[in-house]
Structures are given as C-alpha cells and as structure tokens.
C-alpha cells in the first residue's frame, strides 16, 4: 500500500510540474520591433540590454533586418521597459530614443544613421510640398 501511495504521489508531482510548464508557455509572448544598430558589437549590447529586464526570457537581434525578437512574460514586464533598456545603452527603437551623449559614446562602427529616425519624428512640418 505504501508503494502505491508513493507512486501516486510521484505521478501527481510530475503532472503538477507539467501543468506549471504549460502555464508558463501560455503567458510567454513574442514580439518583434526595430532596433537601430550596425554590427556584432551592437548585437551583443542590444541583446544583453533586453535580457537584463526581469521577465524577458530571450532576445535575438538580426543585424540585416535590424529587428529584435523578444520573448517575455507580460505579467512580469511591459514591452516598453525593454525598449527603454535598449535605448539606455545607445540604440534607438521604435518607441524609445537613446540620449545623444550615450549614442555619441558608442564605438564608431556602432553609430548608426539617426537621420531617418529624426525625419520620421518631425513628420511633414517645416517644409512645403
């Protein structure tokens, strides 16, 4: 009888563990957004900044597309916090802009062209068609 009880307890614990894993998968969200950068050093810096935010499970920045894919738990973190963390290390995103002094401190190869960014923010004000 004790052996049967131990087996039932073990099965219950295993099943409870699988239930927790399933719940974690359901709360994980994947988002993709633009992050400005140029090289492998940028990639390491961007991914490290994103992963430093509690609730971010993974971050993968693609140098060619300049898009980052972030897997995170929305119960633990707001996606805007990830944008801000990336901007804090010198890289502009769709929703957060790095401070000029931080951007200027990046190595030369990491200083991406910010002119397109500025044009989008300004819109059509200041010029005539």
Q: Does residue 38 lie within any of the structural domains?
A: yes
Averaged pLDDT for residues 3-12: 59
Q: What does the pLDDT read at residue 74?
A: 95
Q: What does the pLDDT read at residue 115?
A: 74
| pLDDT band for position 20 (cuts 50, 70, 90) | low
Q: Which residues lie closer than 8 Å to 75 by C-beta, 6 or more apart?
A: 27, 55
Q: Does residue 1 lie within any of the structural domains?
A: no
| pLDDT band for position 17 (cuts 50, 70, 90) | low
Report whether pLDDT(122) > 70: no
Q: Does residue 15 lie within any of the structural domains?
A: no
Q: How many domains does the chain have?
A: 1
Determine the 3-state secondary structure of 116 from DSSP.
Answer: helix
Q: Which residues lie closer than 8 Å to 80 by C-beta, 6 or more apart?
A: 95, 96
Q: Does residue 127 lie within any of the structural domains?
A: no
Q: Does residue 68 lie within any of the structural domains?
A: yes
Q: Does residue 82 lie within any of the structural domains?
A: yes
Q: How far is CA 63 from CA 32, 36, 43, 95, in A?
A: 14, 9, 7, 19
Averaged pLDDT for residues 12-35: 70
Bridge partners (DSSP) of residue 59 are 70
* Residue 87 · residue 98 · CB < 8 Å: yes
Report whether pLDDT(123) > 90: no
> Which position has the higher pLDDT, 3 or 124?
3
Q: Which two tokens stand for residue 14?
A: 């295993």
CA distance 76 to 57: 11
Q: Does residue 5 lie within any of the structural domains?
A: no
* Residue 28 · residue 71 · CB < 8 Å: yes
Q: Which two tokens stand for residue 82?
A: 């990830």
Over the stretch 65-109, which tens digit does the pLDDT of each residue have? 999 999 999 999 999 999 999 999 999 999 999 999 999 999 999
Query: What CATH number should be reported for the domain holding residue 32?
Result: 3.30.70.100
Q: Does residue 110 lie within any of the structural domains?
A: yes
The closest of 69, 97, 73 to 83, measured between CA atoms, is 97
Structural domain of 69: 28-121
* Residue 68 · residue 60 · CB < 8 Å: yes
């Amino acid at each position: 009888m004790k052996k049967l009880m131990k087996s039932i307890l073990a099965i219950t614990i295993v099943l409870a563990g699988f239930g927790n894993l399933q719940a974690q998968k359901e709360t994980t969200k994947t988002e993709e957004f633009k992050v400005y950068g140029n090289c492998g050093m940028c990639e390491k810096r961007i991914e490290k900044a994103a992963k430093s935010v509690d609730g971010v499970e993974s971050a993968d920045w693609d140098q060619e597309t300049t898009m980052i894919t972030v897997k995170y738990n929305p119960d633990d973190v707001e996606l805007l916090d990830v944008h801000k963390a990336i901007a804090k290390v010198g890289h502009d995103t769709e929703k957060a802009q790095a401070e000029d002094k931080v951007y200027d401190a990046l190595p030369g190869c990491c200083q991406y062209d910010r002119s397109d960014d500025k044009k989008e923010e300004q819109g059509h004000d200041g010029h005539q068609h």
